[in-house]
Chains A and B, each alone.
Chain A
C-alpha cells in the first residue's frame, strides 16, 4: 500500500462529502445535539452533586449534634451516605439512572441503596436519556453509514471503479483511504464533543480529582476514536461487498438496528434465562433463614450464644457475666454483628457473582457488536458502570460495619456491667465520641481497576480494527469491481 495514494482517497472522500448538499447542516445539527446533551448532563450532575453535598453535610451535623447517650442508640440512629457521581458521568450517564443514590446505614442490618432516578421517573426514561455518549455511540454511526454506504458500491454502479483500478490504484489504498476519509467526517462531531467535554471538566473539577479524571478523559477520547474508526472501516467494507449502493444502505441500516436495539436486548434475555436471580423476597428469606440458624444474640437461651458466654466465663474465671471486666451486652452485640455481617456478605457476594455472569453474557456480544463494546468501556471510564457502583456500596457497608462495631466497643469498654437499660443516665457517653467518629468519604475507584473489569471489550474493539484492516492490505480482487 502506498500511503500517498491512500491519503489522496481519504482527502477526496472527505472533501466530496463536505460538498454534498446537507452534509454541513447534518454535522451542525449533530454538534448542536451533542452540545445540548453535554450541557444538560453537566447541569444535572452539578446539581446532583450540590444536593448530595448539602445533605451529606446535614447528615454529619445531625450526627454530631446528638446529645450524650448510650452508644447503642447511636448505632441504631445510624448514618446516611449518598453516592457522589463521578465527574465524567455528565458525558456518559451509563447506569446512573438505575442506581440507588442513598443508603441508610444502621446496626444489625444492611439496607438497600434507594432513590434511584428510575424509581422517581415516568415512562419517558425508558426511551433512554440524551447524553454525549449516546449521540457518539448510536447516532453518529448511523450518520457514518449514510455518508459511506455508496463509497465503493456507488462507484461500482457508475463504472468508476474500473477507471480507478485502471489507473493503478490498489484495493488496500481505496478501502483504507475511503475509511480514513469517513473517519475525518466523524471527527467533525467526535472532536468538538470532546473539546466541550474537556472545557466543562475544567470548570467542574477540584484539583484533587484532576489527575485521575484527565487520564480517564484521555482514554475516552481515544476509545471513541477507535470505535468510530472501526465503524468507518466497517461501512466501507459493507459498501465494497454489496452489489449496489441500495443494498449497502439496507445492510448498514439493518446492522445498526441489530447493534443498537436487537443484540443488547436479546443478550439481556439470554442472560436472564441462563442466570436467573432471586427475587428480593427470596433473597431476604434466605439471609434470614441463615441468621436464624446461626443464633440469635437477643435470645438468652440461644445455644450458640450460651456456649460463647460459658467460654468467656471460663477464660475470665468468673461465675456471672456481671463480673466480666467488660460490658457483656456490648460484647454479644459485637459478636452478633460479626456473624450476621459475614452471612449477609456471603449472600450478597453470590448475588454479585450472578449479576457478573449476566453482564458477562452481554459483554461477550461485543464480539459481533462494537456498540456493546464501546458502551461497556465508556461506562467504565466515565465511572457509571456497575463496578464503580458496587465499589461505592462496599465502602458504605464497610463504614456501616465500623460504625456499629465502634459503638459496640465503646459500650464494652465504657459502660458498667450492672447497667441493664439504655435509658440509664450512667450509660450516657459524651457526644465527643460521635464527633470523633470520622465522616464517610467516598473514594473513587482507581482507573486501573476500571480497566481491569473491561479489558475484554476494549481488546475486542482493537481486534475489530485489526480484522478490518489486515485483509484490506492483502486483498487482491475477491470482490467484483464491475
Chain B
C-alpha cells in the first residue's frame, strides 16, 4: 500500500509544483542572505579603514600639543558583528547600522545614526529564508493536505479503500506522513545548502534555528490534520486553512503590532534628545565652576585637574560640558530603553500564543538580528564610549602631547552578541500548540469510515 501511495504522490503535479516552489524560493532567499552577508562584511572592512583614516587625517592637521582638539575629531569604531546565521533571518539588521563610529564627545547625539536604505524596500521586507519558511511553507503544506481525504471521498475512491482494509486510518496516516516527510526533507536540504553556502557554524544557535523551523512545519501539518479530520469537503477545508493562514500571518501579527504601538508610545526618545542637547549647550552660558563641580562628582578620580584661572576655554571644561549632556539625558534614555524592553516582552508573550509570531521572533533572536540585539549593542556602545573617555580624559587634562600616545594600535572593536539560548521558551510554545492541535483532532475527528464528506447530502444517514 505504502509504495503505491508513494508512487501516487510522487507522480502528482502538486508535489512537483509545491516542492519546486519551496526549493526555488528557498535558494533565492539563501542567495539574498549571501548578498546581505557580503554587504555586512564590506561595511565591517570599511569600518577598519574609516578608523585608520580618521586618525591619519586628524594627525595631519591638529597640532601635536592639542590632544583635546585631536580627540574632538577622532572617531572610534564599534562593529556589531553579524553572525552568518543572520543570512537566514535578516530581521532588523536592515534598519540598524552594523557599525557605529563615535568621538569621545556627547554620545546621545551620535548613537542614533540611521542606515541608508530605501524605506520602500524596508517596508516591502526582505525575501530571506525566514520569510520563505514562515509564509510560503504553510501554503505548500495546505496545498498538500487540504484534500488528502476529501478528494478520495468526493472522487468515490475512499469507499474502495474502505472495502479493502479494516483500518482506513492507516492509509490516511501514511498519506499525510509522506507529505510531512517530503516537506521536512525539503527544509533539511535547504538548511544544509545554507549551512555550506553561507558557512554557518553548527552551534546551539543553528541547531535551535533548525529545530524551530521543523516545529513550525510540524505545527502547520498538525493544523491541517485537525481540519482534515473534521471530514468536510475539499472546498471547505481549503477555505478554513487559508483563513487560518491569513489570520496567523497577516491579521493577528499586524493587529498586535498596532497594539504594541498604542500601548507603549515612545515620546521618551525625543526627551532624551532635547535633555542631552540642552544639558550640554546650556553649560556654555553658565559659570565654569559649578559645571566642573558636577563633573567631579561623577568622576572623583579627575578632581586633581583644574581649569586654568580666568581662561575663557579649557578642554577639561569642554569635555565636562559634553559629558553632562549625556548625564542629564540619562533618565529619559533609561525610560526609553525600559519602554523598548516592554515592547519586546509584550511581543514575546504574544508569540507564545501564535506560532507564526513566535517563529518570526525566535528566528531573528537566534540570528541575533532583533531588538534585543540592538539594545545590547547600544549598551555595549555606551560602555565602549565610556572606556574611551576614561582612557583619554587624564591624558587630555594633563595636556600630554598627541605623539605621546601610540595611535597605531587603534582598530575598531567588535561586539559579539553571545546570549544564552533558552530552550524552554523557544521550543515549548510551538510543541504545546502541536500537542493541543493533535489532541483536539483526536477528540473532534469524524469517523474514518464515512464514504462521503461531512455536510454533503449523501453522508447523512
A residues neighboring B (CB under 8 Å): 33, 36-37, 40-41, 43-44, 47-48, 51, 54-55, 58-59, 62, 66-67, 69, 73, 76-78, 80, 82, 94-95, 97-100, 102, 104, 112-130, 134, 138-139, 142, 146, 246, 249, 253, 257, 261, 264-269, 271-273, 277-283, 285, 292, 296, 299, 351, 355, 358-359, 362, 386, 389, 421-424
Contact B119 A99, beta carbon cutoff 8 Å: yes
Residues of A near B257 (CB, < 8 A) are 121, 124-125, 127-130
**Contact indicator per residue, chain B 250-277, by CB within 8 Å of chain A (1) or not (0):** 1101111111111001110110011001
7 A-B pairs with C-beta separation under 8 A: A44-B258, A66-B285, A73-B281, A118-B122, A119-B374, A128-B254, A281-B50
Give bound CA distance, A203 to B441, whole Å. Answer: 49
Contact A127 B249, beta carbon cutoff 8 Å: yes
Chain A nearest CB, measured from B369 CB (Å): 8
Given A44-B262, A281-B50, answer yes or no on A124-B253 (Cβ-Cβ < 8 Å): yes
B166 within 8 Å of A (CB atoms):
no
Residues of B near A278 (CB, < 8 A) are 116
Chain B stretch 64-90: residues in CB contact (< 8 A) with chain A? none
B125 within 8 Å of A (CB atoms):
yes
A95 touches which of B32, B112, B120, B239 (Cβ 8 Å): B120
Give bound CA distance, A125 to B96, whole Å. Answer: 14
Contact B261 A112, beta carbon cutoff 8 Å: no
Give bound CA distance, A94 to B139, whole Å. Answer: 26
Residues of B near A389 (CB, < 8 A) are 119
B445 within 8 Å of A (CB atoms):
no
Binds A, one of B38-46, B383-391, B399-407: B38-46
Contact A77 B340, beta carbon cutoff 8 Å: no
Contact A62 B139, beta carbon cutoff 8 Å: no
Chain B nearest CB, measured from A417 CB (Å): 18
Binds A, one of B175-183, B196-204, B293-301, B357-365: B357-365
A51 touches which of B255, B270, B282 (Cβ 8 Å): B270
Contact B135 A123, beta carbon cutoff 8 Å: no
Residues of A near B61 (CB, < 8 A) are 296, 299
Contact A118 B95, beta carbon cutoff 8 Å: yes
B370 within 8 Å of A (CB atoms):
yes
Main SS at interface, chain B: helix
Give bound CA distance, A139 to B254, whole Å. Answer: 13
Residues of B near A47 (CB, < 8 A) are 262, 265
Residue of A nearest to B271 (CB): A55
Give bound CA distance, A268 to B128, whole Å. Answer: 12
Chain B stretch 336-364: residues in CB contact (< 8 A) with chain A? 336, 340, 343-344, 346-347, 350, 356-357, 360-361, 364
Contact B265 A116, beta carbon cutoff 8 Å: no
Residues of B near A271 (CB, < 8 A) are 118, 121
A104 touches which of B53, B267, B273, B346 (Cβ 8 Å): B273
Give bound CA distance, A91 to B127, whole Å. Answer: 26
Contact A98 B119, beta carbon cutoff 8 Å: yes
Contact A117 B261, beta carbon cutoff 8 Å: yes
Residue of A nearest to B336 (CB): A120
Residues of B near A122 (CB, < 8 A) are 260, 343-344, 346-347, 361, 370-371
Give bound CA distance, A367 to B278, whole Å. Answer: 52
B284 within 8 Å of A (CB atoms):
yes
Residues of B near A351 (CB, < 8 A) are 116
Residues of A near B46 (CB, < 8 A) are 279, 281-282, 285
Residues of A near B28 (CB, < 8 A) are 269
Residues of A near B304 (CB, < 8 A) are none
Residues of A near B135 (CB, < 8 A) are 261
Residue of B nearest to A126 (CB): B125
Given A281-B43, A421-B312, answer yes or no on A127-B254 (Cβ-Cβ < 8 Å): yes
Residues of A near B42 (CB, < 8 A) are 279
Contact A285 B118, beta carbon cutoff 8 Å: no
Contact B273 A268, beta carbon cutoff 8 Å: no
A55 touches which of B239, B267, B336 (Cβ 8 Å): B267
Contact B120 A80, beta carbon cutoff 8 Å: no
Chain B nearest CB, measured from A480 CB (Å): 22
Residues of B near A98 (CB, < 8 A) are 95, 119, 122-123
Contact B115 A104, beta carbon cutoff 8 Å: no
**Contact indicator per residue, chain B 100-127, by CB within 8 Å of chain A (1) or not (0):** 0100000001001111111111111111
Residue of B nearest to A78 (CB): B277
B242 within 8 Å of A (CB atoms):
yes
Contact A281 B99, beta carbon cutoff 8 Å: yes
Interface residues on B, range: 35 or more
Contact A268 B124, beta carbon cutoff 8 Å: yes
Given A122-B371, A130-B251, answer yes or no on A115-B125 (Cβ-Cβ < 8 Å): no
Give bound CA distance, A112 to B119, whole Å. Answer: 13
Residue of A nearest to B269 (CB): A115
Chain A nearest CB, measured from B129 CB (Å): 13
Contact B118 A423, beta carbon cutoff 8 Å: no
Given A122-B361, A127-B250, A127-B254, answer yes or no on A113-B114 (Cβ-Cβ < 8 Å): yes
Residue of A nearest to B119 (CB): A98
Residues of B near A33 (CB, < 8 A) are 251
**Contact indicator per residue, chain B 8-22, by CB within 8 Å of chain A (1) or not (0):** 000000000000000
Give bound CA distance, A477 to B144, whole Å. Answer: 36
B152 within 8 Å of A (CB atoms):
no
Contact B312 A424, beta carbon cutoff 8 Å: yes
Give bound CA distance, A117 to B284, whole Å. Answer: 33
Contact A124 B274, beta carbon cutoff 8 Å: no
Give bound CA distance, A51 to B274, whole Å. Answer: 14
B328 within 8 Å of A (CB atoms):
no
Contact A277 B39, beta carbon cutoff 8 Å: no
Give bound CA distance, A292 to B346, whole Å. Answer: 48
Contact B95 A358, beta carbon cutoff 8 Å: no
Residues of B near A423 (CB, < 8 A) are 312-313
Chain B nearest CB, measured from A333 CB (Å): 17
Residues of A near B329 (CB, < 8 A) are none
Chain B nearest CB, measured from A28 CB (Å): 14
Residues of A near B32 (CB, < 8 A) are 269
Give bound CA distance, A93 to B259, whole Å. Answer: 15
Residue of A nearest to B286 (CB): A67
B270 touches which of A82, A113, A421 (Cβ 8 Å): A82
Residues of B near A62 (CB, < 8 A) are 274, 278
Chain A nearest CB, measured from B57 CB (Å): 7
Give bound CA distance, A97 to B261, whole Å. Answer: 10
Among A80, A124, A273, A281: residue with most chain B CB under 10 A: A124
Chain B stretch 238-252: residues in CB contact (< 8 A) with chain A? 238-239, 242, 246, 249-251
Give bound CA distance, A212 to B382, whole Å. Answer: 46
**Contact indicator per residue, chain B 133-146, by CB within 8 Å of chain A (1) or not (0):** 00110010000000
Contact A73 B262, beta carbon cutoff 8 Å: no
Give bound CA distance, A257 to B142, whole Å. Answer: 14
Give bound CA distance, A302 to B307, whole Å. Answer: 31
Residues of A near B270 (CB, < 8 A) are 51, 55, 80, 82, 102, 115
Give bound CA distance, A271 to B35, whole Å. Answer: 13
Contact B313 A120, beta carbon cutoff 8 Å: no
B429 within 8 Å of A (CB atoms):
no
Given A115-B112, A120-B343, answer yes or no on A129-B50 (Cβ-Cβ < 8 Å): no
Contact B261 A51, beta carbon cutoff 8 Å: no
Give bound CA distance, A95 to B50, whole Å. Answer: 31
Residues of B near A146 (CB, < 8 A) are 239
Contact A269 B95, beta carbon cutoff 8 Å: no
Contact A134 B139, beta carbon cutoff 8 Å: no
Give bound CA distance, A116 to B131, whole Å. Answer: 23
Contact A264 B124, beta carbon cutoff 8 Å: yes
Contact B97 A280, beta carbon cutoff 8 Å: yes
Residue of B nearest to A77 (CB): B281
Give bound CA distance, A125 to B357, whole Å. Answer: 10
